[in-house]
Amino acid sequence: MQQNLSSSDPIVSLRDVQKSFGPLRVLDGVSFAVERGEVLALIGRSGSGKSTALRCIDRFEKVDGGEIVVCGHRVDRPDVDLRALRQDVGIVFQSYNLFPHLTIEQNITLAPCAVKGMATSRARDLARKVLAQVGLEEKLHAYPEQLSGGQQQRAAIARSLAMQPKVMLFDEVTSALDPELTAEVLKVIEQLAADGMTMVMVTHEMGFAKGIADRIVFMHRGKVHETGPASILTSPTTPELTQFVGTGNLKS
Amino acid sequence: MSLQLDFPAVLERWPSFLGGAALTLELAAFATVLGALFGTLAAVGRGSRSPLIAGACKVYVETIRNTPLLVQIFLVYFGLASLGLKFSAFTVAVAALTINVGAYTAEIMRAGFEAIPRGQIEAAEGLALSRLQIYWHIILLPAIEKVYPALTSQFVLLMLASSVCSQISAEELTAVANYIQSDTYRAFETYIIVAVLYVILSLVMRAGFWGLGLVLFPRRRRLGTPL
């Protein structure tokens, strides 16, 4: 399934992607691409299709039409090797989804051991390393319920990082957190961006999107309505984006 | 009207009582372990994408849950016999009890599986775990944990219900009691002792399940949350 991938090919590309839930057309010809090392922010109102677009990249939703290529995998095809795809793609969810019966260390080492056959001792070293990256080394042996929401989300990011993905997807990862906890999670994501990780994020944090994203994709009614560098948030060209950013507080 | 109880006449048969209690416990242990495995597989099967497998598991569960245990025991006992297969009454009893408790286990485990949030499975899929690995590492233990009290009660009930296996002369506590009371003509005393022994067996099983819970759910032990 994996085609030869030259370094100039985009990591993620969507072309004319269509997706309906029953009669509701959620994605209506969505196209965008993410280059290696790029940070792309998907913004838009609730129901605009941004989360669905993100989930299509990791094939949590099957598309009805169009083409999706992720790290050389043809995600739109029915015969895509899901496990190979998901070793290349890391995803972090709004609700953290840490495994409650496992310690943070076990949460992190499970996939490298079970999927990649990594030796336990190496996986443990790796767990320490990725937890240090998100500033949670001291929580190695804690259970998820002993952590705050922000810590749980950072642990979930660490768990994803341990699989050494080529691209990370963030699906409204701070929406369940208060401003203080949001800030600690965003700091971790900023550091990842600085380290050159390719990322696609659905976010409602406009100030953060503006600060970190190389490119913004503004979705409206299932279509890419406006796209461009972060500066489009301060000088939008379409009335819909003007209205959308006008409702937030972008003064900072 | 006078009630005269003569326990010493019955209690001198204590080795038989203890032997019967041990056999009942053995019967319950075999049926619990096999029934737990069998029932969990049936619960997984009910969620299968193949309508044939899902349908077969549903028919099994519903048939067993809507027929009496004694009839099931007779069906296995006479069914095997008419096929020309000879097994000991104990083996037949284990088989029948396994089939019976498997169906109840399947229903309880299905509830446990359904209580696992969708996000847990998506997170595991996102980490490239296979379907089998997800069941094994992510779903199974939390599902058991959620239904552990219901599940263990079912196994204690099974032990108590195993007394009807005396009908096919399987050696267990009630069957032993039947011999003793027909020998001593002290039926009331005999069944009082049997009742006490069943209470003790129930307590032994509950203690065992409590201990097993400590091993299975280390998080509860660490955080001190009771089951």
Helix (H, G, I), strand (E, B) or coil at A103: coil
Specify if B2 maps to a domain: no
- Residue of A87, A99, A101 with shortest CB distance to B128: A87
Quote the DSSP letter at residue B205: H
Closest A-chain CA to B145: A101
CB-based contact B127 A93, cutoff 8 Å: no
Cα B11 from chain centroid? 29
Chain A interface mutation, best of B118, B121, B122, B127, highest count of A Cβ atoms under 10 Å? B127
pTM for the whole thing?
0.89
CB-based contact B125 A101, cutoff 8 Å: no
Closest B-chain CA to A103: B219
Specify if B89 maps to a domain: yes
CB-based contact A100 B142, cutoff 8 Å: yes
CB-CB contact of A77 with A236 (8 Å): no
Specify if B24 maps to a domain: yes
Q: Per-residue b/e over A63-82, b at no fewer than 16 CB within 10 Å?
A: beebebbbbbbbbbeeebeb
User: Would you state the pLDDT for residue A252?
Assistant: 42
How many domains does chain B contain in total? 1
CA atoms within 13 A on the CB side of A187: 11
The DSSP bridge pattern shows strands A215-220 and A223-228 to be antiparallel
Beta carbons within 10 angstroms of residue A118's beta carbon: 17
Specify if B16 maps to a domain: yes
Pairs across A and B, CB distance < 8 A: 65
Which residues in chain A are contacts of B126 at CB distance < 8 A?
58, 60, 86, 89-91, 160
Specify if B1 maps to a domain: no
Specify if B173 maps to a domain: yes
Q: How far is B136 from chain A (nearest CA, A)?
A: 11
Closest B-chain CA to A169: B126
A68: phi then psi, degrees, rounded to nearest 5:
-125, 125
Which of A121, A125, A122, A111 lies closest to A83 in space, CA to CA? A111
pLDDT per position as a tens digit, B188-217: 999 999 999 999 999 999 999 999 999 999
Closest B-chain CA to A82: B128
- CATH classification of the domain holding B170: 1.10.3720.10
Instruction: List, for chain A, all residue ranges whose pLDDT scores fall below the cut of 70.
Output: 1-7, 247-252
pLDDT, averaged across chain B? 94
Which residues in chain A are contacts of B217 at CB distance < 8 A?
101
Specify if B161 maps to a domain: yes
Q: How far is B137 from chain A (nearest CA, A)?
A: 8
User: Would you state the pLDDT for residue B1?
Assistant: 65
Q: What percent of chain B has pLDDT over 70?
A: 99
pLDDT per position as a tens digit, B124-164: 999 999 999 999 999 999 999 999 999 999 999 999 999 99
pLDDT over 70 at B46, yes or no: yes
Residue B121 belongs to what domain range? Answer: 7-223
